[in-house]
Amino acid sequence: MESSGANSDSVIRSEGEVKVEARGLDLFYGEFQALRGVSVAVAARRITALIGPSGCGKSSFLRCLNRMNDLIDGARVEGDVLLDGERIYDQGTDVAALRKRVGMVFQTPNPFPMSVYDNVAYGPRLHGCRGRAELDETVEKSLRGAALWDEVRDGLRKSALDLSGGQQQRLSIARVLAVEPEVLLMDEPCSALDPTATFRIEELMLELKERYTIVIVTHNMYQASRVSEYTGVFLMGELIEYGQTTQIFEMPRDQRTDDYVRGRFG
Amino acid sequence: MRRTRQAFDEQLRELERRLVEMGRFVESMLGKAVKSLADQDAAAAREVIAADDTADEMDLDIEQHCMRLLALQQPMSRDLRTIGTVMKVIADVERIGDYSVDIARTAIKLEGDEYFRPLEDIPRMTEMVQQMLRDALEALVDRDLEQVARVVACDDAVDRMWYKVRDDVERVMQEQPEVVPQAVALLLVARYLERVADHTVNIAERTAYMETGRLETLAPSHRADYEAEGEG
């Protein structure tokens, strides 16, 4: 078994269209280097899972894909991230537009303290959508897309805070869908949910991948193995292995991946 | 985490220990069955038939152990391949037990018959396949791919013995029609032994998979497009 890492030319390219690509990506938080030369091509309309022990850089990498790290003082990126072949770290990139195209769902559901309707309409309104009929249509479409419509259609004016944890997370997804993104970044979206709610989110992801490119960071290897087509394994800021999910979990090439997926460290 | 991992490792070792134990048990059934045939000892043959229940229990016990590990440990990578391999291999070992029973039944059927010639090739084939079974299980426990290759190579020698026995028996049946029932029974025993060798090759192939992740037919004679010299 090799342990050469996946950062070299040996990176397995995803088959088909590439949506997002990192090339030699380094990330620094002040003096600390959080990512080291990460190169990977993320397939369009597929689910890519990122796994690895805590502090390995997987969430940091995810945040690089829509420049969320810009919000952190002292964060500095070297190398390139390309969305549809365009460099997103170039000067002149419209970061708000980028984050509209590359939406993020966080670990903890974070509904705004307002109605279900207003939560979903928030993004479209921010982007200038004012027409009542158009908003109604967007809200319904997004809630349907997030598999929540049937549960909230009669209570759109109720507070989003009264929804269950699983419903709140699907609402978070609906809110991202409302601005019609192309890529969904999900940072441990099920870690605060019970198995049933987790199952619903996983089902939803499988539906959503028909239209969106999904990158999910998860601590749950079984979730990665259930839902994703491709898996990247991070360790100490490096992408040590990347490949088809079946290969990663059945026959990893890197000894460190083998150790990690078998629970030998982490 | 380290303690749970150690416990899991211990359970995996236990799984292999039980598999080896079952292999030894079945190997001894096979040896006794052929000895009962050579000695025309029906009582010993009945013991082999009775022993099959124990082999079946071992098979079920290991399978349950595997299912439990799959459910509770949700194994990945090498661990997953190991458990998957053990589950497949016990089916091969169990079949070898069944062939031992078939041979024991033949011994009971032929008790009192005078053999048309002393049994020589069948005991020799038995020694060969017993060794193959021992080597295959040892290769599995030791993750020894060279040993896997040796087991696969032995299959050709067993096949050659089988063709020889078949040709001999064919000739005897033509020359001495009165021994046909006994000759057919012994021909089947040789066939069972040839099949036992095939099961040991399966075990070897599974061991190779466990180590390399590749599922391959290693014995040329087991490939669909193979045309044997002695076959036909």
Q: Does a structural domain hold residue B144?
A: yes
Q: Is the ipTM of this complex over 0.90?
A: no
pLDDT at A14 over 70: no
Exposure string (b/e) for B136-172, b if CB count within 10 Å is 16 or more? bbebbeeebeebbebbbebbeebbebbbebbebbeeb
CATH of residue B207: 1.20.58.220
Which of A222, A262, A266 is facing B77, going by the closest CB pair?
Answer: A262
> What phi and psi values does residue A19 have, to the nearest 5 degrees?
-100, -45
Query: How confident is the model at residue B223, as a pLDDT?
Result: 83
β-pairing verdict for A47-51 and A75-83: unpaired
Q: Is the pLDDT of residue A40 over 70?
A: yes
Q: In this predicted structure, what is the pLDDT of residue B220? A: 83
- Over residues A118-123, mean pLDDT: 96
Cβ under 8 Å to B: A residues 213-232: 221-222, 225
- List, for residues A228-260, the tens digit of each pLDDT value: 999 999 999 999 999 999 999 999 999 999 999
pLDDT at A116 over 60: yes
Average pLDDT over residues A75-101: 95
Per-residue pLDDT tens over the stretch A163-190: 999 999 999 999 999 999 999 999 999 9
Interface of B with A in 79-98 (CB under 8 A): 79-81
User: With bands split at pLDDT 50, 70 and 90, how would you rate the model's confidence at A217?
Assistant: very high
Q: pLDDT at position B1, please?
A: 58
Residue B231 maps to a domain: no
Quick check: B75 contacting A, CB < 8 Å?
A: yes
Question: Which DSSP string corresponds to B51-94?
Answer: HHHHHHHHHHHHHHHHHHHHHHH---HHHHHHHHHHHHHHHHHH
Please tell me which residue of chain B has the smallest CA distance to A224.
B76
Does residue B4 sit at the A interface (CB-CB below 8 Å)?
yes
Structure tokens at A81: 């991230």
Is B7 inside a domain boundary?
Answer: yes
Measured CA distances, A109 to A163, A193, A202, B24 (Å): 10, 9, 15, 57
Closest CA relative to residue B23, chosen from B125, B130, B127, B99? B130
- Nearest-by-Cβ selection for B77 from A222, A261, A266: A261
Tokens at A200, concatenated: 């619903």
User: Is B58 part of any domain?
Assistant: yes
pLDDT tens across A155-168, in order? 999 999 999 999 99
**Is-contact B136 B196, C-beta < 8 A?**
no
Predicted confidence (pLDDT) at residue A9 exceeds the cutoff of 80? no
- B227 found inside a domain: no
Please report the pLDDT score of residue A11 as a whole number: 52
Residues of chain B with confidence (pLDDT) below 70 = 1, 228-232
CA distance B2 to chain A (A): 7
Residue A8 has a pLDDT of 43
Residue B189: CB atoms within 10 Å? 23
Give the integer Cα–Cα distance in Å for B82 and B14.
12
Predicted confidence at residue A196, as pLDDT, reads 87
Domains of chain A: 18-109+181-261 (3.40.50.300)
Range of the domain at B216: 2-222
A205 burial (CB, 10 Å; 0-12 / 13-18 / 19+) is buried
Would you call A261 and B1 a contact, using CB atoms and an 8 Å cutoff? no
| Strand pairing report for A102-105 and A183-187 | parallel
Q: What total of structural domains would you count in chain B?
A: 1
Residues in chain B closer than 8 A to A252 (CB atoms): 77
Strands A213-217 and A183-187: parallel
Confidence of residue A3 (pLDDT cuts 50, 70, 90): very low
Flag whether B42 is in a domain.
Answer: yes
Residue B98 lies in a domain: yes
CA distance B206 to chain A (A): 14
Bridging pattern class, strands A213-217 and A47-51: parallel
Contact A252 B77 (CB under 8 A): yes
Q: What is the pLDDT of residue A2?
A: 44
